[in-house]
Structure 1
Amino acid sequence: MRRRGLLAGGAAAAAMLAAPGLPRAQGTAAQGTAGQGTAGQGGGQGSGGAPIRIGEINSYSSQPAFLQPYRNGWNMALDEVNAAGGIGGRRLETVFRDDNGKPEDAVRHVGELLNSEKVDLIAGGFLSNVGLAIADACAQAKRLYMAGEPLTDAMVWARGNRYTYRLRASTYMQAAMLVEEAAKLPAKRWAVVAPNFEYGQSAVRSFKELLGRARPDVQFVSEQFPALGRIDAGATVQALASANPEAIFNATFASDLTAFVRQGNIRGLFERRSVVSMLSGEPEYLDPLGDEAPEGWIVTGYPWADLNTARHVAFRDGYRRRFNDYPRLGSVVGYDLVGSIAAMLRRAASTDTEKMVDAASGLRFNAVFGDVEYRAIDHQSTMGAFVGKLALKSGKGVMVDWRYADGAKYLPPDEVVRQLRPQG
């Protein structure tokens, strides 16, 4: 692949923050308050009535690498909306809850937020199994859930419902992006490694299906599914090496990815083998590897330092001024999720659940990577992802030769979606 960035728009960088999806901030706004049981409020004053309350549930204690930047991005966007007058003069407020990475905790929080805190909608989610539990609970209560991160295909297809929308590109979409590159490799013998829960199983299922369709001559000679957060990296690497694959598809992330890469480097697993890896170019997972980051892997990720579109520069510069740090992909997800909620609320002109659900259907909004739509057919957004290769630069892993893959181009035809998704 040749490296190519997105074309910068002719608008000034500040135009992104002034667009309908995310109003431009005026002055300094207070950061949303973090913590269990605490309502986080953005800055700014509205004059149009009671605040609009969002119940936000996430795995803050179990997945901090992604979710602290996510919280930063969320609060930044919330304050911008409120500083610009809120939604029809009504301020946005957030009531945060930590699900500890447990579906049962998330379901309990859904009930508390809806019944005791009287929130107008539920948002958030990180782990796919937890996100599905939130989606099911909200569907039973007939209340809107705007999911940010849970990537499983089931979120919008097999277990999709009227009340659930999802922002990030799914496992199917990212697998399809990676398969475009994987199918070009000469490798015929493949192995896979992924965490043994909904996300990992969904990622492997999609990758195998799509690669098999593109390259009927490939075979999968080993599948390793270590427990999430408890990978025995030495044993996993040995098992993969024993199968002698020509290429590996990896879907591990966070501490599992770090352990897997280190053991793979020590034992020579990646020598003369191609690796295709989901999420590994995201800085929250790439940065901890330092100079141990593998070179040449084909990955999805986020080249934050080199993406110079007007929208992204405005976001990146604002984020760095506020937090004295660079954004991670979690920062973008948190920021865009609030932006999409604000755009939905403006379109609905109401906090009635059915009106909000209808307003989200087919909604287009101004996101960091470009305009995004929540598709009416399955409630999946068209947010894309970056595909590139890993390289070392100044002793640190970076993405090179990257391109932006528009999510709308990596979804199955409508007739297939109708077969995958139940009615409602």
Structure 2
Amino acid sequence: MNKTFAGVALAGTMMLQTLGATAAAEGVIKIGELNSYKSQPAFLGPYRNGMELAVEQINQAGGIHGKQLELIIKDDNSNPGDAVRAAEELISREKVDVLTGTFLSNIGLAITDFAKHKKVFFLASEPLTDKIVWADGNRYTFRLRNSTYMQVAMLVPDAVKLNKKRWAIVYPNYEYGQSAVATFKTLMKQAQPDIEFVAEQATPLGKVDAGAVVQALSDAKPDAVFNVLFASDLARLVRAGNQRQFFSPALPVVSMLTGEPEYLDPLGEETPEGWIVTGYPWYAIDTPEHNAFLKAYQDKYNEHPRLGTIIGYSTIVSIAAGIEKAGSTDTEAMIKAFRGLDVVTPFGPITYRTQDQQSTQGAYVGVLAKQDGKGIMTHIRYVDGKEVQPTDEQVSQWRPAAANQ
């Protein structure tokens, strides 16, 4: 299946011919999905829409080996313990065939460990921490979205070009933020040995005291800022920074995730122009894969997609491709099928690497601007995930040998 299936899933035509002939089989394939829907609705509402669109397209085309896909979704309450209990219920009570999902990195790590001990296939769709595929990686866990290392590596060349010595850093104080900052420091020091980190603000997730943070950053008199905050924390930071005239054209800011519509759209007129960001400029991507996806999504939901939509859609397309290639949902067959699996997504082709079970999905990098009172990304470029990976030697040092057996 791999590229052939995913490509036609996006187009919504040839798949009828490819898979419809096998529709004689009975039953369903249950996909168990758990996520932080209550606490992260801006991302996960569109994410769920993306999943449901992909399921609908696949089922209308005859399913996988004639079996329909069924999504069974549970909220993890943004709590690792609750997430493990939800995963256990999906496996034992709902009898799902595979597990997927999670948004927060600490939740993703908890389910990664659960998958290892329960010997169940798990596709981590969204959590960004590097540990999922490296330090805490295991043979049962694959990851779709580009990691913190990959996203930071996409931004570092632009950060280095700024030629600024004194940097301030602000980030959410949990696994995702800590991982991103550690990678930024490492890669920047390698590229610019004389760099100094003059201020570091680690804030509680969802509870940033933006005024105090901006004051602390301002007091350090940095030449540039690296921001890792997102969602409501980002909005508060931007508002406080604008009110105190801290964010100005004279102060470059490099920022993860800020160009994603989930977080950029709410900023509106407050959008800080000139920030260098990763994101999803859905309005400026002109490729066959994305155009087909965009039309299908807008026809169904009458709204524009968000980055979460891409992740949700690509998650289901990936699982379907893996099951088609494996010939079943047997865990060992799925592991074998996913290693080296090629899938065509709205962002183009990706591969699940054999060395760390991380996909090569990339991201868009650009510069923030305002147009008609809304934030947009300009000067965009797509960075393929395979171009921002560490060396195989580094991966072998970071990832337990048993994880690839």
User: Secondary structure, in 3 states, of the residue corresponding to 2:247?
Assistant: coil
Asked if residue 203 in structure 1 is aligned to residue 180 in structure 2, the reply is yes
Asked if residue 289 in structure 1 is aligned to residue 277 in structure 2, the reply is no
User: Secondary structure, in 3 states, of the residue corresponding to 2:282?
Assistant: coil
Change in 2 beyond 3 A, CA 1:18/1:280? closer
Aligned partner of 1:314 in structure 2 is 292
Asked if residue 364 in structure 1 is aligned to residue 342 in structure 2, the reply is yes
Change in 2 beyond 3 A, CA 1:193/1:16? farther
Equivalents in 2 of 1:17, 1:237: separation in Å? 49
Aligned pairs (5 A) from 1:383-398: 383-398=361-376
Asked if residue 241 in structure 1 is aligned to residue 218 in structure 2, the reply is yes
Aligned pairs (5 A) from 1:73-88: 73-88=50-65
Runs (4+) of structure 1 exceeding 3 A deviation are 15-18, 20-23
Q: CA offset at residue 186 of structure 1? A: 2.3
Aligned partner of 2:128 in structure 1 is 151
User: Secondary structure, in 3 states, of the residue corresponding to 2:278?
Assistant: strand
Q: CA offset at residue 20 of structure 1? A: 5.3
Higher fraction of helix? 2
Aligned partner of 1:335 in structure 2 is 313
Q: CA offset at residue 100 of structure 1? A: 1.4
Root mean square deviation, CA, Å:
1.6
Q: Deviations over 1:101-124 (max 9, x none)?
A: 111111001111111111111001
Aligned partner of 1:305 in structure 2 is 283
Aligned partner of 1:226 in structure 2 is 203
Equivalents in 1 of 2:5, 2:142: separation in Å? 23
Report if the CA contact (8 A) 1:25-1:79 is conserved.
Answer: no
Equivalents in 1 of 2:154, 2:162: separation in Å? 14
Change in 2 beyond 3 A, CA 1:139/1:379? same
Q: CA offset at residue 24 of structure 1? A: 1.9
The TM-score normalised by the length of structure 1 is 0.90
Q: Deviations over 1:176-226 (max 9, x none)?
A: 010010000121000100001000001111111111111111110111011
Which of the numbers 19, 24, 39 marks the counterpart of 2:12?
Answer: 24
Report if the CA contact (8 A) 1:23-1:84 is conserved.
Answer: no
Equivalents in 1 of 2:262, 2:5: separation in Å? 25
Q: CA offset at residue 17 of structure 1? A: 8.2
Paired residue type of 1:218:
I
Q: Deviations over 1:145-190 (max 9, x none)?
A: 0011000010100001000000111100010010010000121000
Equivalents in 1 of 2:6, 2:135: separation in Å? 38
Paired residue type of 2:283:
A
The TM-score normalised by the length of structure 2 is 0.95
Equivalents in 2 of 1:67, 1:18: separation in Å? 22
Report if the CA contact (8 A) 2:144-2:315 is conserved.
Answer: yes
Equivalents in 2 of 1:17, 1:390: separation in Å? 36
Unaligned runs of 5+ in 1: 1-14, 27-44
Aligned partner of 2:382 in structure 1 is 404
Which of the numbers 267, 270, 282 marks the counterpart of 2:247?
Answer: 270
Aligned partner of 1:64 in structure 2 is 41
Aligned partner of 1:194 in structure 2 is 171
Aligned partner of 1:182 in structure 2 is 159
Aligned pair count reads: 393
Paired residue type of 1:123:
T
Equivalents in 1 of 2:13, 2:308: separation in Å? 21
Equivalents in 2 of 1:329, 1:18: separation in Å? 18
Aligned partner of 1:350 in structure 2 is 328
Equivalents in 2 of 1:23, 1:162: separation in Å? 32
Equivalents in 1 of 2:394, 2:6: separation in Å? 38
Change in 2 beyond 3 A, CA 1:165/1:18? closer
User: Secondary structure, in 3 states, of the residue corresponding to 1:194?
Assistant: strand
Paired residue type of 2:173:
N
Paired residue type of 1:54:
I
Report if the CA contact (8 A) 1:233-1:263 is conserved.
Answer: yes
Report if the CA contact (8 A) 1:17-1:24 is conserved.
Answer: no
Equivalents in 2 of 1:139, 1:411: separation in Å? 24
Equivalents in 2 of 1:142, 1:18: separation in Å? 27
Change in 2 beyond 3 A, CA 1:331/1:195? same
Report if the CA contact (8 A) 1:16-1:22 is conserved.
Answer: no
Equivalents in 1 of 2:184, 2:35: separation in Å? 27
Aligned partner of 1:95 in structure 2 is 72
Percent of paired sites with the same residue: 55
Paired residue type of 2:95:
K
Is the deviation greater in 292-301 or in 110-119?
Answer: 110-119
Equivalents in 2 of 1:324, 1:415: separation in Å? 47
